[in-house]
């Protein structure tokens, strides 16, 4: 963990704000989620690990200072009985193991002696994609998605125990939530403490488990979730819906739902931030003499004045016809670029009028 550059993994600078870190993680989570076609589970887990450290202020502080969210790894010296250090007869770690916990957890599938107790696991996050129209993006909208996921078991209400069954002290771990195991490895004999699989590290278990969920407190089901999509949301931006991911084990918190919003392009309007851009084609007489023309906006047609002598490519601003800032910071404008239409075919009368106009210009 200490050798990983979490800032590079998320693609952010070392002084990135929490919002920038969250936005970078959402983008990577959307790209690499293993449930998506072309997803990459390894990169998804790596991004999740980086986010877990950098978004937590205390973990980030330790990571910036020591290169690890666990802080400095201390050996505590060598001695004969392994207290605070090593014992190469029975290979053990004492109280100062610090950063070695994750290494030996990876090697042996558990924690070192004295590792922190781990309770029931929280539910996993879910990512879905939702498509909306340009007009829905302008005004904001609601979308409902039906999720097939792990939900709280309705039979036991998430407890994992059969209704009417008594909660008892786990006999396998004597209520500690941990079991001690001896593992032999190339380093010697290793004492490890692992979460008790019988009670899932809670220290308690029901005399009879729920037959519907087999004691996990969750089962596969469907849930319809309504998502509020704010006006002015960017294409590809993700919305977080806390607690709407998969259910956790035995009453542990549910994961979150991340909704990536995709906006279909408009036939004539373009956006850049809160600004909307469009073009208006006018005739040569309108450009020369001025006129009032109808312009399409995100909120319907409006009248726009064309001053006499308007030049091709000139840009006019329609105040307040841009997009609302999704965080409530005002509203943009619409910028209209004027294009002057030059006719390709002229009638005899039109040619004569144009010729007279040209002669008049030449006399001036």
Q: Is it the case that residue 300 has pLDDT exceeding 50?
A: yes
pLDDT for residue 363? 65
User: Looking at residues 144-167, what average pLDDT do you find?
Assistant: 89
Quick one: pLDDT band at residue 92, thresholds 50, 70, 90?
very low
User: Looking at residues 24-32, what average pLDDT do you find?
Assistant: 84
Percentage of the chain exceeding pLDDT 70:
81
Range with the poorest average pLDDT among 54-63, 106-115, 118-127: 106-115
pLDDT for residue 272? 93
Q: Is it the case that residue 101 has pLDDT exceeding 70?
A: no
User: Looking at residues 165-170, what average pLDDT do you find?
Assistant: 90
Q: How far apart are CA 228 and CA 239, in angstroms?
A: 9
Percentage of the chain exceeding pLDDT 90:
38
Which has more pLDDT, 286 or 351?
Answer: 286
pLDDT for residue 94? 37
Buried (b) or exposed (e) across 230-248, using 16+ Cβ within 10 A? bbbbeeebbbebeebbbbb
Terminal CA-CA length for the chain: 80
Task: Answer for the pair 37, 62: CB distance below 8 angstroms, yes or no.
Answer: no
Which has more pLDDT, 308 or 44?
Answer: 308
User: Looking at residues 70-98, what average pLDDT do you find?
Assistant: 40
Domain boundaries, the chain: 119-164+208-264, 270-363
pLDDT for residue 98? 37
Q: What is the 3-state secondary structure (H, E, C) of 251-313?
A: HCCCCCEEEEEEECCCCCCEEECCEEEEEEEEEHHHHHHCEEEEECCECECEEEEECCCCCCC
% helix / strand / coil in the chain, to the nearest 5? 25, 30, 45
Same CATH fold assignment for domains 119-164+208-264 and 270-363 = yes
Quick one: pLDDT band at residue 351, thresholds 50, 70, 90?
confident
Q: How far apart are CA 44 and CA 38, in angstroms?
A: 12
Q: What average pLDDT does the chain have?
A: 81
Residue 157 has a CB neighbour count (10 Å cut-off) of 13
pLDDT for residue 70? 62
E strand residue ranges, the chain? 90-91, 111-112, 126-132, 141-152, 167-169, 178-185, 188-195, 204-206, 218-229, 238-241, 257-263, 270-272, 275-283, 291-295, 302-306, 315-318, 334-341
Q: Is it the case that residue 116 has pLDDT exceeding 50?
A: no
Range with the poorest average pLDDT among 12-16, 33-37, 151-155, 196-200: 33-37
pLDDT for residue 186? 56
Task: Answer for the pair 338, 280: CB distance below 8 angstroms, yes or no.
Answer: yes
Q: Is it the case that residue 11 has pLDDT exceeding 70?
A: yes
For 146, phi then psi, to 5°, come to -100, 120
CA-CA-CA-CA dihedral for 74, 77, 78, 83, to nearest 10:
-70
Range with the poorest average pLDDT among 37-51, 65-79, 102-116: 102-116
Query: According to the per-residue pLDDT averaged within each range, which of 61-65, 230-234, 246-250 is highest?
Result: 230-234
CATH topology of domain 119-164+208-264: HSP40/DNAj peptide-binding domain (2.60.260)
Query: According to the per-residue pLDDT averaged within each range, which of 44-48, 96-100, 288-292 is highest?
Result: 288-292
Which has more pLDDT, 251 or 140?
Answer: 140
Q: Is it the case that residue 109 has pLDDT exceeding 50?
A: no
- In terms of CATH, what superfamily is 270-363? Urease metallochaperone UreE, N-terminal domain (2.60.260.20)
Which has more pLDDT, 91 or 192?
Answer: 192
Q: Which two tokens stand for residue 47?
A: 């991004």
Quick one: pLDDT band at residue 181, thresholds 50, 70, 90?
confident
Quick one: pLDDT band at residue 323, thresholds 50, 70, 90?
very high
Residue matched to tokens 């109808």: 294
pLDDT for residue 105? 45
């Amino acid at each position: 963990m200490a050798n990983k550059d979490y800032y590079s993994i998320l693609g952010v600078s070392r002084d990135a704000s929490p919002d920038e870190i969250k936005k970078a993680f959402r983008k990577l989570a959307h790209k690499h989620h293993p449930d998506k076609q072309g997803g990459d589970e390894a990169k998804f887990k790596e991004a999740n690990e980086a986010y877990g450290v950098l978004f937590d202020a205390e973990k980030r502080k330790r990571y910036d200072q020591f290169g690890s969210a666990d802080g400095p790894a201390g050996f505590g010296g060598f001695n004969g009985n392994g207290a605070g250090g090593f014992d190469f007869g029975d290979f053990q770690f004492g109280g100062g193991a610090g950063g070695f916990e994750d290494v030996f957890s990876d090697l042996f599938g558990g924690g070192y002696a004295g590792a922190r107790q781990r309770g029931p696991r929280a539910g996993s996050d879910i990512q879905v994609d939702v498509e909306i129209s340009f007009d829905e993006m302008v005004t904001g909208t609601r979308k409902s998605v039906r999720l097939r996921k792990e939900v709280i078991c309705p039979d036991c209400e998430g407890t994992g125990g059969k209704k009417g069954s008594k909660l008892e002290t786990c006999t396998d771990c004597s209520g500690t939530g941990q079991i001690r195991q001896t593992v032999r490895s190339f380093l010697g004999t290793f004492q490890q403490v692992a979460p008790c699989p019988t009670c899932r590290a809670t220290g308690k278990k029901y005399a009879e488990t729920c037959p519907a969920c087999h004691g996990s407190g969750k089962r596969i089901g469907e849930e319809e979730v309504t998502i509020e999509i704010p006006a002015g949301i960017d294409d590809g931006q993700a919305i977080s819906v806390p607690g709407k991911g998969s259910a956790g084990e035995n009453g542990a918190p549910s994961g979150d739902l991340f909704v990536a919003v995709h906006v279909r392009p408009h036939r004539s309007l373009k956006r850049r931030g809160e600004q909307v851009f469009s073009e208006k084609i006018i005739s040569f007489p309108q450009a020369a003499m001025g006129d009032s023309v109808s312009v399409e906006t995100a909120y319907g047609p409006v009248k726009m004045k064309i001053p006499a002598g308007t030049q091709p490519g000139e840009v006019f601003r329609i105040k307040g016809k841009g997009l609302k800032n999704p965080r409530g910071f005002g509203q943009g404008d619409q910028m209209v670029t004027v294009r002057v239409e030059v006719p390709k075919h002229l009638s005899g009368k039109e040619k004569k009028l144009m010729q007279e106009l040209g002669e008049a210009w030449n006399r001036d």
